[in-house]
């Protein structure tokens, strides 16, 4: 059945991929975005689509629209962007969640929250299952994002308990793919851009910290499966690829695939940079029948192909 679906942050990296999938499935999509990190370029191929609409709006302000479902993705995700205006980052997560939950409550509709593995902070449990409460600095430079997202989760569960709202909370682990902004600042896009330009590859710290990288198509498949799951499945549920790599291994893979002449340079490690991160996805496997399919090498090849073709347009 075709629905009218609100995607906040729809002009961003994940939002634009999600929008594409929803349109392909025959739904109408209302994209709400303030274009802080999202771009028109990400959605320009959708602008003529009869089922697609864009509204420039900041989710920290109330929003009165009529829709059947909400995916709440609005929030800068890269450390350099969310630390640029940290107060606005917390407002986006917290006031944004309140407004979107208020909207869902008025319309009695299901709402999805893009939460994050950052709720686990610098984890002392490895890999991270959903039951782990996390190890987060409440007053550090990453706190605006981590605590904002944690508070948003609290709000989702209180609207669920207090108002009977149908909620779907996904804890997303590092995701990469086409349409990440070349200046996004996250590790995969940085390394790919640097390698393609034969520029120095910037390793923060010793490069032995780990992340688990999920290809965007796999992740979006997980979003849609979670949204379509039975009402009893509220999450929080981890979505990510459990294959864990050090930052150095990632750099080596990118150099191998691109055949780049780039050299590795070591820079200071950012404050509160988590040492290890790997999702335990047993819940997603059992409840959603979901697991990622794209291996890091395949995903990097696809992303590198895209960046080879599109880097010029950003220059």
- Closer to ligand NAD by Cβ: residue 17 or 260: 17
- Closer to ligand UDP by Cβ: residue 46 or 144: 144
Residue with tokens 């090849």: 301
Shortest Å, Cβ 175 to ligand UDP: 10
- Closer to ligand NAD by Cβ: residue 35 or 133: 35
Task: Give yes or no: 145 in active site.
Answer: yes
Q: Which of 12, 79, 235, 279 binds ligand UDP (CB under 6 A)?
A: 79
- Positive or negative, the CA dihedral 85, 91, 92, 93 is positive
62 binds, among ligand NAD, ligand UDP, none (CB under 5 to 8 A by kind): ligand UDP
Q: Which residues bind ligand NAD (CB under 6 A)?
A: 8-9, 11-15, 33-38, 58-60, 73-77, 92, 96, 114, 116, 172, 174-175
Determine the Cα–Cα distance for residues 6 and 19; give it in Å rounded to an integer: 9
The answer to the question of residue 244 lying near ligand UDP (CB under 6 A) is no
Determine the Cα–Cα distance for residues 192 and 205; give it in Å rounded to an integer: 19
Judge contact between 11 and 43, C-beta under 8 A.
Answer: yes
From the list 82, 120, 145, 159, the catalytic residue is 145
Q: Which of 49, 57, 105, 302 binds ligand UDP (CB under 6 A)?
A: 105
Q: With contacts defined by CB under 6 A, how many residues of the chain interact with ligand UDP? A: 23
Determine the Cα–Cα distance for residues 302 and 228; give it in Å rounded to an integer: 28
Q: Where does the chain show beta strands of DSSP type E?
A: 4-8, 28-33, 52-56, 69-72, 110-116, 167-172, 175-176, 201-204, 210-212, 214-215, 237-239, 244-246, 264-267
202 binds, among ligand UDP, ligand NAD, none (CB under 5 to 8 A by kind): ligand UDP
Residue with tokens 């851009």: 193
**Residues numbered 262-291 forming contacts with ligand UDP, rule: CB under 6 A:** 270, 273
Neighbour-count burial for 37-60, b at 16+ CB within 10 Å, e otherwise: bbbeebbeebeeeeebbbeebbbb
CA atoms within 13 A on the CB side of 256: 11
The answer to the question of residue 103 lying near ligand UDP (CB under 6 A) is yes
The answer to the question of residue 204 lying near ligand UDP (CB under 6 A) is yes
Shortest Å, Cβ 183 to ligand UDP: 11
Shortest Å, Cβ 131 to ligand NAD: 19
Contact partners, residue 270, CB within 8 Å, separation at least 6: 79, 141, 204
DSSP string of 246-279, one letter each residue = EHHHHHHHHHHHHT----EEEEPPPTT--S---B
- Part of the chain binding ligand UDP (CB under 6 A), chosen from 44-52, 150-158, 197-205, 290-298: 197-205
User: What would you measure as the largest C-alpha separation in the chain, in angstroms?
Assistant: 57
The answer to the question of residue 111 lying near ligand UDP (CB under 6 A) is no
98 binds, among ligand NAD, ligand UDP, none (CB under 5 to 8 A by kind): ligand UDP
Contact partners, residue 245, CB within 8 Å, separation at least 6: 210, 211, 212, 213, 253, 296
The answer to the question of residue 102 lying near ligand UDP (CB under 6 A) is yes
12 binds, among ligand UDP, ligand NAD, none (CB under 5 to 8 A by kind): ligand NAD
Which tokens is 55 given? Answer: 């509204």
Active site residue ranges: 145
Contacting positions for ligand UDP (CB under 6 A): 62-64, 78-79, 98-99, 102-103, 105-106, 174, 186-187, 190, 202-204, 209, 211, 247, 270, 273
């Amino acid at each position: 059945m075709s629905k009218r679906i609100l995607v906040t942050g729809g002009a961003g990296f994940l939002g634009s991929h999600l929008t594409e999938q929803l349109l392909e499935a025959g739904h109408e999509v209302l994209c709400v975005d303030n274009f802080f990190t999202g771009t028109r370029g990400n959605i320009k191929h959708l602008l003529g689509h009869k089922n697609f609409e864009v509204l420039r709006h900041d989710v920290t302000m109330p929003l009165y629209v009529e829709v059947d479902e909400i995916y709440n993705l609005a929030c800068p995700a890269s450390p350099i962007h969310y630390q640029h205006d940290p107060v606005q980052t917390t407002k986006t997560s917290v006031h944004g969640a309140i407004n979107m939950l208020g909207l869902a409550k008025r319309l009695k509709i299901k709402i999805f929250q893009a939460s994050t593995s950052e709720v686990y902070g610098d984890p002392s449990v490895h890999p991270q299952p959903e039951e782990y409460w996390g190890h987060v600095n409440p007053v550090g430079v990453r706190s605006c994002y981590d605590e904002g997202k944690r508070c948003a989760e609290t709000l989702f569960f209180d609207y669920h308990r207090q108002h009977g709202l149908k909620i779907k909370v996904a804890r997303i682990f590092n995701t990469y793919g086409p349409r990440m902004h070349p200046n996004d600042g996250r590790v995969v896009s940085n390394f790919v851009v640097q390698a393609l330009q034969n520029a120095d590859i910037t390793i923060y710290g010793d490069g032995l910290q780990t992340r688990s990288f999920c290809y965007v198509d796999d992740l979006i498949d997980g979003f849609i499966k979670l949204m379509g799951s039975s009402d009893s499945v509220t999450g929080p549920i981890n979505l990510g690829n459990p294959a864990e790599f050090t930052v150095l291994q990632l750099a080596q893979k990118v150099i191998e695939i691109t055949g780049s002449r780039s050299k590795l340079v070591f820079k200071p490690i950012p404050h509160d940079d988590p040492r290890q991160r790997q999702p335990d996805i047993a819940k997603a496997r059992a409840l959603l029948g979901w697991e990622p399919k794209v291996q890091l090498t395949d995903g990097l090849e696809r992303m590198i192909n895209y960046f080879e073709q599109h880097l010029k347009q950003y220059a």
